[in-house]
Structure 1
């Protein structure tokens, strides 16, 4: 996996900062209440960790790259699934990366990167589309759990991107809430290409756009500038199982 260098490209920030702050506060409170109800312990989103984890963007990228290498060569370790790990995680979590990926059943992040319990915060939406819930979930991982890496993971043959491109070309509306997804992806459509090349190019353009929007969020951008966070775009190839960088 060629994703070794951290990056973030600020563009226009997403709107409604007040709503984002409210959502972030709600997520923090909900996580604490959920922990207390589930295990009968004091609310906590993190606790002293006994397992080492990557603490810098570069270390996090190298760990994901190593896991993807194991996955695509059928040498998975299926780490962090033991009884000891499960017991440790009762009192808190210390994941090292947020992976924002598509909902496609063929691209589960924990498998693609050969990671286990407590290693990743995974946020999934069709076509990696951002809305307030998705943005709040990503921000929660970074701001509350001090995660050093956000990876925006698109993939080959994305159905959401295909639907957006075909709807744009035909002018036909898509059913129910699927049209919302298409509308969000539409600005990334590469009209310089035709046919399958247009769909493929749009997949990459959409990854770049989502990455840039996240990197431009004020709270996240401040961490990028300080070297505490990287926002990286990457793509998973179904044919080879390789994850590679999309700059």
Structure 2
């Protein structure tokens, strides 16, 4: 069985291939692989990422069919349905690693910053619900000197939001919390750079991993 640290190493290796242009060379995407997966799946990592079209997890980590259990939502926020999806994969497949994957220049983060700086009535209740889940990570930063440097503010807010989502998963589910305590799960936060293609695992990664 793959351990969380082995899964993390596989993601890092895959991202390196993606960055250096050698991605896809090892993937088996033909009929035989599809047939292998008909009876079931055993993803080695769960990715909770943003819906942004520029950050498809399978490509970013150079993984193929059946490798990743991917949950995507604008702003990589955590709501009950996302927690339930992670719980499902963790319990059903024994997947040991969860990665909350944010990215640079996130539109959901930018929209939340704008809402905090210049409150306006949002025409969509559904979009407003996303903004409100991101707001607690953004509002304290807007109150600092970062408000004078938009790019820096967005950068810090992206990471703060990733950390908040990861902590929500760690402490907002009895199932996941117990798995962490038992050493059966690791939840980490990461940021994908649109500019370089590099994924930086910066939150919750054990020393030396």
Is TM (by shorter chain) over 0.5? yes
Which residue does 1:178 correspond to in 2? 127
Whether 1:72 aligns to 2:19 is yes
Other-structure match for 1:224? 180
* Distance in structure 1 (CA, Å) of the matches to 2:116 and 2:180: 34
More relative contact order in 1 or in 2 (CA 8 Å, sep 6+)? 1
CA RMSD of aligned residues (A): 1.1
Partner of 1:5: none
Deviating 4+ runs (over 3 angstroms)? none
Selected match of 2:161 from 180, 186, 206: 206
- C-alpha displacement at 1:117, in angstroms? 0.4
**Using the alignment, how far apart are the partners of 2:169 and 2:190 within structure 1?**
14
Q: How far is the alpha carbon of 1:196 from its aligned partner?
A: 2.2
Pairs aligned (count): 194
In the aligned structure 1, how far is the partner of 2:54 from the partner of 2:101? 13
With normalisation by structure 2, the TM-score equals: 0.90
Q: Using the alignment, how far apart are the partners of 1:224 and 1:132 within structure 2?
A: 19
Q: Which residue of 2 aligns with 1:246?
A: 202
**Structure 1 length as normaliser, TM-score?**
0.76
Alignment partners' CA distance in 2, 1:168 and 1:155: 20
Shift of 1:139: 1.2
Contact 1:80/1:115, CA 8 A, preserved across alignment: no
1:127 aligns with 2:75: yes
1:109 aligns with 2:64: no
Gaps of 5+ in 1: 1-53
Partners of 1:208 and 1:246 within 8 A in 2: no
Is 1:211–1:231's contact at 8 Å kept on the other side of the alignment? yes
Counterparts of residues 42-61 of structure 1 (less than 5 Å)? 55-61=2-8
What 5-or-longer segments of structure 2 have no aligned partner? 204-209
Query: Which piece of structure 1 moves more, 143-152 or 172-181?
Result: 172-181
